[in-house]
């Protein structure tokens, strides 16, 4: 009998994701799943009808590598309206198979072995594996409970001659914090004389609350010239399973992005792109999202107000953080498991978003759920 092949794992420290673990636990114990970040309500019926119409019309073969031109034109109009930035849809926008693919492709297009990439944690779990797969070295800056704000002087000290890229996420998943104009101005100053690419994860651009506006890198010319910004239709239109997003950046960076993109996925779902091109003609389809999700945030907070959990203000995304320091001294992973098994509500421990596994006794709950689901979860949380 032959022996197994011997090889070196390219991701030796990567195991099953916390999202899979907690969702599996929720399914096993029939708990309400507020762990994974997806809505449990449907996307727009009109959008689904548009997808079906395009399938029936025969829009089922390969799309252009850079994406449907009508869709790119609509994205360019949207960017001009929201951020007063003129974008060339031919050279500065590429449609991707979701935001994660866009992030992976952007990192692999530019990061080489030995390059350093600054990552601000807590962070989405795909960032660091993507960096490591191309031989890059993650350099971590930790946001601290409870404010999760950036000390820009401290962050600036992390830059070296090897810093190829810095990765930001605003509004931030999981912290729910949004960068302000002063933050972008500080970043602009730091990057002014540096040969460093800015990769900006802005998938929650429309989920920002309390009358605030999203501060996109697209609004800052000096940042834009060094940036690739990533967006997600799945997060915006409640259809995360469709896996479609886009990336925006200056033509000289987009040229390199597309070199990798064409050999990664080449092109993206044709009928969905055509449907989205029509759907985006009505800006109200996304302009109402801040009020929609703020109402859900506020309702969830009201439902959990009588609990022993301490909420941390959510400025954006559809995630609410709670400290459980007044309830238990257990690790956040153990407490999240206990909450799932004994109390019937699944969440995500925030330590999973830190390389150091920093444990501030904080859990993340997704409130992109129906009112009925939130009511049931709130009642169970109040029994803690």
Tell me: the pLDDT tens digits for 17-74? 999 999 999 999 999 999 988 899 999 999 999 999 999 999 999 999 999 999 999 9
Handedness of CA 365, 370, 373, 376 (dihedral sign): positive
pLDDT of residue 298: 98
What is the rounded CA–CA span in Å between residue 70 and residue 54?
Answer: 14
Q: Cis omega before residue 224 (within 30°)? A: no
> Looking at residue 38, what is its pLDDT?
87
Domains by residue range for the chain, with CATH: 18-37+287-381 (3.90.1150.10), 61-281 (3.40.640.10)
For residue range 289-325, list pLDDT tens digits in order.
Answer: 999 999 999 999 999 999 999 999 999 999 999 999 9
Q: Backbone phi, then psi, for 122, in 5-degree steps? A: -70, 145
Angle between helices 18-28 and 332-343 (to 10 degrees): 20
Residue 16: pLDDT band (50, 70, 90) is confident
Q: Give the pair of three-digit tokens for residue 366.
A: 């997704």
Q: Is the dihedral of CA 359, 206, 221, 228 positive or negative?
A: positive
Length of the chain: 384
Q: Does residue 203 carry a pLDDT above 90?
A: yes
Residue 352 DSSP symbol: G
Average pLDDT on 168-190 reads 98
Q: What is the pLDDT of residue 15?
A: 83
What percentage of the chain carries pLDDT values higher than 70?
100
Residue 316's closest CA among 260, 381, 367? 367
State the Cα–Cα distance between residues 97 and 87, nearest whole angstrom. 21
CA distances from 132 to 106, 322, 341 (A): 13, 31, 34
pLDDT tens for residues 81-127?
999 999 999 999 999 999 999 999 999 999 999 999 999 999 999 99
Whether 99 and 232 have beta carbons less than 8 Å apart is answered as yes
User: Which H or E run includes 52?
Assistant: helix 45-56
Question: What span, in angstroms and rounded, lies between the C-alpha atoms of 286 and 104?
Answer: 26
Tell me the chain's radius of gyration from C-alpha atoms.
21
Closest C-alpha to 343, from 117, 31, 4: 31
End-to-end CA distance of the chain: give it in Å, rounded: 55
Q: 146: cis peptide before it, omega within 30°?
A: yes
- The whole-angstrom distance between residue 183's C-alpha and the CA centroid of its chain comes to 19
The Cα 198–Cα 221 span in angstroms is: 13
Residue 2 pLDDT greater than 80, yes or no: no
* Mean pLDDT of the 346-350 span: 98
pLDDT tens for 245-267 read 999 999 999 999 999 999 999 99
Is residue 1 predicted with pLDDT exceeding 70?
no
DSSP annotation of 252 reads H
Euclidean distance between CA atoms 95 and 262, whole angstroms: 11
How confident is the model over 10-15, as a mean pLDDT? Answer: 88
Which is nearest to 320 in space by CA: 339, 294, 338? Answer: 294
**pLDDT tens track for 354-374:** 999 999 999 999 999 999 999
> Going by C-beta distance under 8 Å and a sequence separation of 6 or more, which residues neighbour residue 337?
25
**Closest C-alpha to 203, from 283, 99, 119:** 99
Backbone dihedral region of 58: left (phi > 0), alpha (psi from -120 to 50 degrees) or beta?
Answer: left
Is the CA virtual torsion 302, 304, 306, 310 positive or negative? negative
Distance, in Å, from the CA atom of 297 to the CA atom of 254, rounded to the nearest integer, reads 36
Which tokens in the block code for residue 101? 């693919």
Residues forming beta bridges with residue 228, ordered by sequence position = 199
Percent residues over pLDDT 90 in the chain: 97
DSSP 127: H
Question: Residue 298 corresponds to which tokens in the numbers above?
Answer: 């506020």
């Amino acid at each position: 009998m032959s022996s197994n092949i011997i090889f070196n794992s390219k991701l030796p420290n990567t195991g099953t994701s916390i999202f899979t673990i907690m969702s599996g636990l929720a399914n096993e114990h029939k708990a309400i799943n507020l762990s994974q970040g997806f809505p449990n309500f449907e996307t727009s019926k009109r959008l689904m009808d548009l997808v079906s119409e395009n399938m029936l019309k025969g829009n089922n073969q390969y799309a252009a590598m850079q994406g449907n031109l009508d869709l790119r034109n609509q994205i360019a109009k949207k960017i001009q309206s929201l951020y007063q930035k003129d974008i060339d849809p031919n050279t500065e926008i590429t449609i991707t198979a979701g935001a994660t693919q866009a992030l992976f492709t952007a990192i692999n297009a530019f990061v080489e072995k030995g390059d350093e990439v600054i990552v601000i944690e807590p962070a989405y779990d795909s960032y660091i594996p993507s960096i490591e797969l191309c031989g890059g070295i993650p350099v971590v800056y930790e946001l601290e409970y409870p404010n999760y704000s950036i000390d820009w002087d401290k962050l600036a000290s992390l830059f070296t001659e090897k810093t190829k890229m810095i990765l930001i996420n605003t509004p931030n998943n999981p912290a729910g914090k949004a960068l302000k104009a002063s933050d972008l101005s500080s970043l602009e100053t730091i990057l002014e004389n540096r040969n460093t690419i800015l990769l900006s994860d802005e998938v929650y651009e429309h989920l920002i609350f309390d009358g605030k506006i999203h501060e996109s890198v697209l609004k800052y010319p000096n940042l834009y010239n060094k940036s690739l910004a990533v967006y997600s239709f799945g997060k915006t239109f409640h259809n995360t399973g469709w896996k479609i997003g886009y990336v925006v950046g200056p033509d000289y960076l987009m040229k390199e992005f597309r070199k990798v993109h064409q050999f990664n996925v080449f092109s993206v779902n044709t009928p969905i792109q055509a449907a989205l091109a029509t759907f985006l003609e009505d800006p109200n389809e996304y302009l109402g999202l801040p009020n929609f999700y703020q109402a859900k945030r506020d309702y969830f907070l009201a439902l959990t107000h009588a609990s022993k959990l301490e909420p941390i203000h959510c400025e954006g995304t559809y995630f609410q953080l709670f400290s459980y320091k007044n309830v238990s001294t257990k690790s956040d992973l153990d407490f999240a498991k206990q909450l799932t098994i004994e109390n019937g509500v699944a969440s995500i421990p925030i330590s999973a978003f830190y390389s150091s596994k920093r444990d501030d006794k904080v859990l993340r709950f997704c409130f992109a759920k129906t009112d009925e689901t939130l009511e049931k979860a709130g009642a169970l949380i109040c029994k803690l």
